[in-house]
Structure formats: C-alpha cells, structure tokens
Structure 1
Amino acid sequence: MDIHSQARELAGWLADAALPLWRQKGFDAAGGGFVETIDMEGVPTRANRRSRVQPRQVYCFAEAGRRGWPGDWRTVAEGGLAYFDRVYRLPSGFYGALADADGALIDPSFDLYNQAFALLAFAYLAQVFPERSREMAGRSDDLRRKLEAHCKHPIAGFEEDDPSRLPLGSNPHMHLFEACLASETVEGFDRVAWANLADEIAQLAMDHFIDAETGALREFFDHDWAPFPGEKGRIVEPGHQFEWAWLLLRWAERRGCAEAIAKARRLFEIGEEHGICPKRDVAIMTLLDDFSVADPVARLWPQTEWLKAAIRFAALTEGKERGRYLASASRAVAALDRFLQTPIRGLWRDKQQADGAFVEEPAPASSFYHILCAIYELEDCLARM
C-alpha cells in the first residue's frame, strides 16, 4: 500500500471508528470529563484520571471539529474544559495532577507538563469557538504569566515548582514549545509573547537539550541544564528524537533557521538508525547516550512521532531525499497500524513487548492526541507535495 492509500485508511479509521467511539464511550456524560481508559470490550474503566488527559482530549475534538468531522465534538470539547477547570484547577491558577473517577482531586501537585496541555487546549478552543476567543486569549496570557512568575529558570525555560526539585526535564518543554507554536498563530492571542517563548525554548533545546557531540536529545538535566548525573542523564528516547525533530522543523520553517533544520535532521537520523527495532520494525522506548538499547518495549506514541517527523521532512525536500522520507513515513504508518488492530475498531494497544506480543490492557485515552495529530499531519504534508 502506498503512502496515499495508507493515509486514506487512517483517515477512515479516525473519522468512522475512533472519533465516534471515544465521543460515545470516552466522555463521562454523567459526571463530566474524559475517562482515562477504555477496555478491549469497549467499556470505559474507573481508572484514576490524569489531568493531562482532559486538555489532550479537548484538543482532539476541537481539532476534529475544525477539520469538519460531523459528529458532536462541541459538547465534549466544552464539557471537557469545564470538567478540567472544576476538578483540577487550583486557587493558584495552576492545574493539579490526578483525580479519581468520581472527580475528586487526589493529587494537587504541580507539573509543568500539565500546564502546557492546558495552554494547548486554550489555543485550539479559541479557533473553534470564536465567541470564546477573547476568554481563551486572556486565560492563556494569565497562565503564561503565572508560569513565568512561579517557575522561570534563571538561564532559560522553566523549573518545576521548587528549584530543588530535580532532575529538570526536556519533555515538559517540548509540550510547552508545541503550545507556543499553536498560540503564536491564533488571532487575538499575544503573538509576540508566544513567539518569544517559542524562540527561547527552541534555543534551549539546541544549546542544552541536544548533545553537541552526538546530536542526540537527552531527557534529564541538573539545575544548570547539564546532563543529570548517572544513568538517568544518559537516557535518550527515540520517540522524542522524532517529536523534537518535528517541532523544530515547524519552528525553523517559520523563522528561516537553517541550524534548527540541521539539528532536526540529526535527531531524525538517530531515531531511525538506532531507535527502530530491526526485527519488529517499530520505534522502541529507550536508548542510552551511546545508542545502546535500554528498553526494547515499543509503545504506540513513538510510532506517531516517527510518522510526523518523516512526513514533514518529505514535504520539505525533493527528489530522492523526499522518496527516502516517504518510505520512512510508510514504515511508520505500518508500525502504527499494528497497534490499531484491536477487537473493537477505534481502540488501540499501547505496549508491544520485545517478543512482539502486545500487553493486554485497556486503551489509554492519552494516546488519542498523538494518533489524531499524526493522521492530520500526514494529510497536510501530502497535500503540500
């Protein structure tokens, strides 16, 4: 199957199976909010709900609505945000971490990662609900200013809520970078402020997150943005090589930054050369900084990031180089498709073990953000070629 046929298959799966299923079963109409998981029989579970899942699902349905999905996306997009605010929002204006299935907050702790997804949801809701765009712009500005006042790092980027809380991570900054790139394009938002923060995070990634010698992006750092001591500081995740490559490409295209394109190209190369299991042809979870395998488990989300980066590179190149990236994108779709083969169409597997067997467990709602974004990115980039 060529990449265009693969894209049509994925689009059909999303529109006809996944979005209807997660709209019907994945939103708790009685209590409000999105469920954490749906089991392989199609039954929502009563698992505790991570706060990040709420704005991620809001994004999914807002973006599906923006792109013309005819289902009832409005109810869940607005209802999901209302639940997120009601259950997780703290007097400080930040969002807590975890609630139970009845909507009681059981972990109010601060995590930069969760605030980043709140900002992403605000940006997408402003686009699909014009009557709320001023509100979303104000809330977006307010949360950004609170973050800058509460946990701005003295060099660049952000700490967590306590400067002594280590290690610092590249991953929360990656999602904050994504929220910046979304916010700087939304009418009525403070585009200059969001563009400046995007530029700061991009530079932080190029100067500190990405190793100057190997070109690999690390996960964990000390307070001076040096690699965290011990094995933790050596962790390199293939999925994040791809995801940062995709984000840096988007930023570089807007800013005309050749350095970022070169860094992104190397990240992709590392992910593809060292992070794909040769037997299973899937992106695995973890390497160390010498590119040896630390965790051979393959999760769903790195397959989507492989696809996003490959197809974005294909859109920005020509000739044989484009052909090579298209071939890589096609492999990524095939890898993703293995995770989508479930008893009920529209669900997914999350973890494939080293022997190729999938872990029997419910489908996590958090994966939908990755899948939907990858499918739409595939469509958009193919349309550019």
Structure 2
Amino acid sequence: MAEGQSEVIDGAADVVARLKSRVIEHCLPLWSGEGWDAAAGGFVDRLAGDGRADRQAPRRVMVQARQIYCFAKAAQMGWSTEGRAIALKGLEYLLAKAKAPDGRPGFVFSLTPEGTVQDGRRDTYAHAFVLLALASAYELDRDTQIRAEIDALLAFMDAELRSPHGGFLEGLPPSLPRRQNPHMHLFESMIAAFDATHDLALQQRAGDFYALFLANLYDKQTRLLGEYFEDDWSRIAPVIVEPGHLAEWVWLLRGFERITGCPTGQRRSELLQSALRYRDGATGCLLDLGDADGTIRRDTRRLWPQVELAKAFIAQVEGGEADAAKEARAALVRLERHYLSHPVAGGWYDQFDSSGASLVATIPASSFYHVLCAVTEADLVLS
C-alpha cells in the first residue's frame, strides 16, 4: 500500500455517522441560508472561500436543479424539517425564471443574479438535472402539476433534442463532440423518475440508455468508457478517460439492476477495476483525467470523483461484494479528510494539484449534489 493510503482507514468505523451529522448540522443550513438569495430568489452558484455568497455569479440552471434535489432528498431522509419547503421554493424559482423565458420551449442554460436570461442555450446536460429535480420534488407528495412538468420536459427532449444516431444532441444549437456525460445523467434521472412515479415508460427510457451504454459508450475490449464521440458515436482518438465517470456508472448500473432485475455485475466490476488504475499513489484518490493506455493526462484531483468512488463501492456492497464495505468507508474517510476539512463549516475544497495545494478558491454549490447523494447512500447501505 502506498504511503498515505493506510492512514485513511483510521476513523472508518464511524465515518458514515460523522458525515451524516456534517450534512445535517452544517451543509444543509449553509446552503439554505447563505446559499439562497433571499432578495432575488434562487440558489447561488458558489460561495467565496470565507463562506459568503457570491451573489454576482451567473446562476446555472444545473446548479438550481441539483440544489432542489439535495433538499428534496434531505426531506425524504428525514434530515431536514425545512427541506421540502426549500426544495419547492427552489423549484418555483426554476420554473418561473428558467422555463421558456424567451418564448422558446425548454430551459435556458443560465440566469443572471436578477433572474433574467444569461445564456439561452438549451443544454441537454442541464435538462437531465431539471428532470432529476422534478422527480425528487414529485416524490415528496406526488403533486400532479410536477408530474405534468416531467411529461412536458420529456416531450420537449423527444421533439427537439433526439439525435438520429441514437441518444440526444448536446443541446440547441447542436454542437460537437458528443459526450457520454449528458447521457449518463439522463440515465440517472430516468431511474429517479421511475422510482418516483413507477411509470413503466420511464423504466423503458432508462433501458434505452443502458442499451446505448452497451452499444456505443462502453468498450468491452478495453473495459473503458469513452468521453467524446463523433455525431455517429465513433470514438474520438485519443480516447480520454475520466475515472470518476467510470465509478459513477458503477452506481448507476446497480440502480438500473434494482429497478429492472437486469444483471449488471460483470460490467460494474470491470468499470470499477478500470477506475482504480487512475489513482494517486500518495492519497488513494482518483485523479481527474487519463487515456485508454492508462496514462495519467491530468494529475489533479477533484472532489466529485472521490464521492463517486465511494458510491461505486457502496453499489458493490449492495451487489454482495465481500470487501466493498471496507473500501467504501475508506473512500468516505478520504473525502472527509482531504475535501471536507474546510474552515467554512458545511463547505469543501473542490480540487487539488499533485502537491496537495487547493486549486479552486471558491466553494462551488454544484458539489453538494455529489456529497449528499453519497452520504444518503452510505446511511442506507452501510449503517
């Protein structure tokens, strides 16, 4: 074991309880308080390093949707008495400001702090998170208006964003290269929407993304997931690998298996083993970027891949893997020690360089979705 990796096991036994307390006592109050713009409405995109809101930063719709998911999920878990109200307040803002404000269907990419259109692109990645937000909010109390918004969003995507080559365009206007990332999050959102509605049509939609994964995104020979593609899903050389996405698909495939019974164990094991090829020897953390030859192309390490690695091991626990629980807790300890040990309670470091220096001065709101999801999964499976 490389230097530094053995120490992260210390404290693993009660790491889930510590992280749950951190989320409840610090993260949720921070992001519903300083992280919400009480004057103009909406969640802020980031906090400064001292924990004060950056109220001048544009408001990405993806971040609005992720924060809605976080507070809806916290309410479902019984972690926040105000979570439901905060999630619905966020959803009201999202629908009022970001849905077709320019008279064209779909959601814009970003808003100004005042709530006007900053970037009017219709981005597929952002729409995946709007669907996740709607599904999470619908699961709170089965509101028929929210269900109608789910159906309207799916109708828009079918009519305007579908690609003749399978899957969805990057957005409107269309652009290249095509990426697996929006499809991964649409897969996630379809699983969540099925969980919320029990609508078999949504289960089938999730199946369409699984089929796309097997046919185009995943290379069975190299056991790697490509990131960038031509319009017809031809791989773009050199094949770039994001280890965090390999881990993220492990968790998603387990979710698909849960809702369909379709066995995914072989592909999950292959993806996880491939992800572990791209670890930092000193810390055990996943690095940001590699290629199909196993070469590290970027030796920085962001927060979100560490969270997804923990979720991948949690998925393997659910799948009956004997040693996965120990690995999941070790990954959570690495997350806690390296990324969550921020002077702002409820904040985090987003990225480090190879020497361990922080590369991002702000505290991005977008990371809360990753952190909260991992801690809820850990509480459900490892506690």
TM class by shorter-chain length?
over 0.9
* CA-CA distance at 1:253 after TM superposition: 3.2
Cα displacement (A) at 1:252: 1.9
Letter in 2 for 1:169: R
What is aligned with 1:296? 299
Which of residues 185, 209, 233 is equivalent to 1:175? 185
CA distance in 2, matches of 1:157, 1:309: 24
Determine which of 87, 103, 127 is the counterpart of 1:115: 127
Deviation by residue 1:225-275 (Cα, 9 ceiling, x = unmatched) = 1212x44xx1110100000111011112332323x3211111111111x12
2:219, 2:17 → 1: CA distance?
Answer: 38
Distance across 2 between alignment mates of 1:225 and 1:292: 23
2:340 and 2:348 in contact (8 A); partners too: yes
Distance 2:105 2:71 in 1: 24
Q: Give aligned pairs, total.
A: 370
Structure 1 residue 71: Cα displacement: 4.1
Q: Deviations over 1:190-233 (max 9, x none)?
A: x12211110010110111101121110111111111212x44xx
5+ residue gaps, structure 1 = none
The structural deviation recorded for 1:315 is 2.4
| Secondary structure of 1:143's aligned partner | helix
- Among 30, 35, 57, which residue is 1:26 paired with? 35
**Equivalent in the alignment of 2:214:** 206
Q: Which amino acid aligns with 2:133?
A: A
Please name the residue that 2:95 is paired with: 85
Alpha-carbon offset, residue 2 of structure 1: 5.5
Tell me, yes or no, if structure 1 residue 39 matches structure 2 residue 48. Answer: yes
Q: Report deviation, 1:160.
A: 2.9
Q: Does 2:9 align with 1:6?
A: no
2:354 aligned partner, one-letter code? A
Task: Tell me how large the CA RMSD over aligned residues is.
Answer: 1.6
Query: Partners in 2 of 1:27 and 1:202 — Cα distance?
Result: 36
Aligned counterparts of 1:56 and 1:69: Cα–Cα separation in 2: 17
For the 8 Å contact 1:220–1:227, the answer to whether it is kept is yes
Please give the TM-score of this superposition, normalised by the length of structure 2: 0.92
Percent identity over paired residues: 32
Distance 1:163 1:100 in 2: 21
Residue of 201, 215, 218 corresponding to 1:193: 201
1:254 to 1:55, Cα distance in 2 relative to 1, 3 A: same
CA distance in 2 between counterparts of 1:20 and 1:114 reads 25
Stretches of structure 2 that go unaligned for 5 or more consecutive residues are 1-9
Q: 2:349·2:358 contact (CA, 8 Å) conserved in 1?
A: yes
* Match in the other structure for 2:26: 17
Q: Is the contact made by 1:315 and 1:322 (CA closer than 8 Å) also made in structure 2? A: no
Query: Where do 4+ consecutive residues of structure 1 move more than 6 Å?
Result: none
> Structure 2: how far apart are the matches of 1:47 and 1:164?
26
How far apart, CA to CA, are the structure 1 residues paired with 2:73 and 2:226? 30
> Residue 95 of structure 1 corresponds to which residue in structure 2?
107
Taking structure 1 as the reference length, what is the TM-score of the superposition? 0.92
Q: CA deviation at 1:156?
A: 2.5
1:358 equivalent in alignment to 2:352? no
Partner letter of residue 253 of structure 2?
L
Q: CA–CA distance in 2 between the matches of 1:155 and 1:192?
A: 24
1:151 is aligned, of 161, 164, 168, to: 161
Q: Is the 8 A contact 1:3 1:329 kept in 2?
A: no
2:322 corresponds to: 322
Distance 1:270 1:215 in 2: 7
Counterpart Cα distance in 1 of 2:158 and 2:212: 16
Show the counterpart of 1:311.
314
Are residues 270 and 256 of structure 1, via their aligned partners in 2, closer, same or farther at CA, if it must alter by over 3 Å?
Answer: same
SS in 1 for 2:52: coil
Cα distance 1:255–1:74, how it changes in 2: closer, same or farther (>3 A)?
Answer: closer
Alignment equivalent of 1:268, drawn from 272, 296, 301: 272
* Distance in 1 (alpha carbons) for counterparts of 2:104 and 2:352: 40
**Cα contact 2:244–2:308 (8 A) shared by 1:** yes
- 1:49, 1:291 → 2: CA distance? 36
State the partner residue of 2:138.
126
Q: Are the equivalent residues in 2 in contact too, given 1:241–1:271 (CA < 8 A)?
A: yes
